[in-house]
Amino acid sequence: MSSLRKIQDASVIFRNLNGIINVYKPQGMKVKHVKAAILNNICKDLNELRANNEPQLHQVPLLATGGAADPLLRKVHSLNLAEHVLSTGPLYEMEDIRCATVASLGQHTSGVLLFGINKGLKQSMRIQRNRPVRAYHVTGKLGVATENHLPNSLITLKANYRHVHPDRLSSLASSLQASHQRKMFELCGVDLQSQAAYEIACKGLIRPANNTQPVIYGIKLIDFQRPHFTLEIHAINETEDYLATLIHEIGIELRSVAHCTALRCIRHGKFTVEGALLRQAWNLPGVVRNMREQKQILEQHPYLLKQSSIELRN
């Protein structure tokens, strides 16, 4: 906000509108609607800034007083039609701003959503290629199964859940984490009994070789209030449907049924939910300030843009 007090030229602000922004996506709102709302507010603020600082032109009559022409023409003053908003339309429009997500979120998922704006598209593509881990808080409800494992679907089955205890759920989460870590080595194309696999394991967690297969790096129970429970999940290449299906499978393993009631992305690499731009700040001052904060994060952690090894740095 302080930078906008110093720079009141809309063209200068527009030229420097390049980078990554961290936005908090509300639940139930599609990514394309979030993008449209942000771009619309940016253009609106830029146009208002330009209008407020536009110099007032000296009004000169087109005809001298007492001319022989139509008296109505004497009342028409000279206008700069080349810049007047009623003749040219708004100077800044949504199509003028290039914007793309680093990794999308489903409609029912809330939390951290990264956008690359203008020249920041290159940075967004690099972050996407490096595939940093995303952390979620996923809430499920025992005893009820739905058609698509999400709360907005038809109920297909009900079952007893009173035999489910937090110890059993924590044990199942640990077992799932171990099985996914084994799959992590398999996706690297390395024989688990080879020396190469041992050397890779000594380095710690590794990133998958492709960006299609979901891999879970961590899953733990953080809250249990029967029938609701919340898991913290760290994953790569995950989707909303994949996480909802995981909750459904956990319910089956517990000899009951379950469906997902809430998904919240709390972290994407080093970009956290605490630094996300809330909906009331989806405007030009908020975007500029948030872009500056994300630039500092990228400078502090350059490996987010370029990783030279398969080791997972997060």
What CATH number is attached to the domain comprising 138?
A: 3.30.2350.10
Q: What is the mean pLDDT of residues 156-174?
A: 94
Please check whether residues 111 and 238 belong to one and the same domain. no
| 70 in any annotated domain | yes
Q: What average pLDDT does the structure give for the chain?
A: 84
Please check whether residues 142 and 221 belong to one and the same domain. yes
Please check whether residues 153 and 111 belong to one and the same domain. no
Q: How many independent structural domains does the chain possess?
A: 2
**In terms of residues, how long is the chain?**
314
| 234 in any annotated domain | yes
Please check whether residues 171 and 198 belong to one and the same domain. yes
Q: Is the pLDDT of residue 191 over 80?
A: no
- Determine the Cα–Cα distance for residues 253 and 159; give it in Å rounded to an integer: 13
The pair phi, psi for residue 190, each rounded to 5°, is -115, 135
Q: Look at residue 54 in the predicted model and tell me its pLDDT.
A: 57
Please check whether residues 122 and 17 belong to one and the same domain. yes
Q: Cα 130 vs. chain centroid, distance in angstroms?
A: 16
Query: What is the DSSP code (8-state) at residue 220?
Result: E
| Coil/strand/helix, residue 267 | strand
On whether the CB atoms of residues 134 and 235 are closer than 8 A, the answer is: yes
| 58 in any annotated domain | no
Q: What is the mean pLDDT of residues 217-232?
A: 94
Neighbours of 309 (CB within 10 A): 10
Give the residue among 129, 127, 137 at the shortest CA–CA distance from 269: 127
Can you tell me which residue has the tokens 């009141």? 8
- Determine the Cα–Cα distance for residues 196 and 202; give it in Å rounded to an integer: 10
Q: Work out the pLDDT band at 202, boundaries 50, 70, 90.
A: confident
Please check whether residues 282 and 195 belong to one and the same domain. no
CA distances from 56 to 47, 80, 235, 236, 309 (A): 16, 10, 57, 55, 59
| 28 in any annotated domain | yes
Please check whether residues 34 and 127 belong to one and the same domain. yes
174-201 burial code (b ≥16 CB/10 A, e <16): eebbeebbeebbebbebeeeeeeeeebe
| 106 in any annotated domain | yes
- Determine the Cα–Cα distance for residues 108 and 28; give it in Å rounded to an integer: 5
Please check whether residues 75 and 155 belong to one and the same domain. no
Q: What is the mean pLDDT of residues 161-184?
A: 88
Q: Look at residue 190 in the predicted model and tell me its pLDDT.
A: 66
Please check whether residues 158 and 109 belong to one and the same domain. no
The pair phi, psi for residue 205, each rounded to 5°, is -70, 150
Give the residue among 243, 242, 220 at the shortest CA–CA distance from 232: 220
Please check whether residues 149 and 174 belong to one and the same domain. yes
CA geometry: angle 306, 220, 183, nearest 5 deg: 55
Q: At what angle do helices 166-187 and 240-253 cross, to 10 degrees?
A: 130
Q: What is the mean pLDDT of residues 221-241?
A: 94
Domain containing 145 equals: 133-268
- Determine the Cα–Cα distance for residues 22 and 174; give it in Å rounded to an integer: 31
Q: Which residue has the higher pLDDT, 129 or 85?
A: 129
| 314 in any annotated domain | no
The pLDDT > 90 percentage for the chain reads: 59
Please check whether residues 37 and 124 belong to one and the same domain. yes
| Coil/strand/helix, residue 23 | strand
Q: What is the mean pLDDT of residues 221-234?
A: 95
Neighbours of 73 (CB within 10 A): 11
| 114 in any annotated domain | yes
Please check whether residues 173 and 111 belong to one and the same domain. no
Q: Is the pLDDT of residue 106 over 90?
A: yes
Among 65-79, 217-231, 247-261, name the one with the lowest average pLDDT: 65-79
| 1 in any annotated domain | no
Q: Is the pLDDT of residue 107 over 90?
A: yes
Q: Work out the pLDDT band at 262, boundaries 50, 70, 90.
A: very high
- What the block records as the tokens of 236 is 């790569």
* Strand ranges in the chain using DSSP code E only, listed in sequence order: 19-25, 99-101, 109-117, 134-142, 144-146, 155-158, 215-225, 228-236, 258-268, 271-272
Instruction: Note the pLDDT tens digit of each residue in 23-58.
Output: 999 999 999 999 999 999 999 999 888 766 555 555
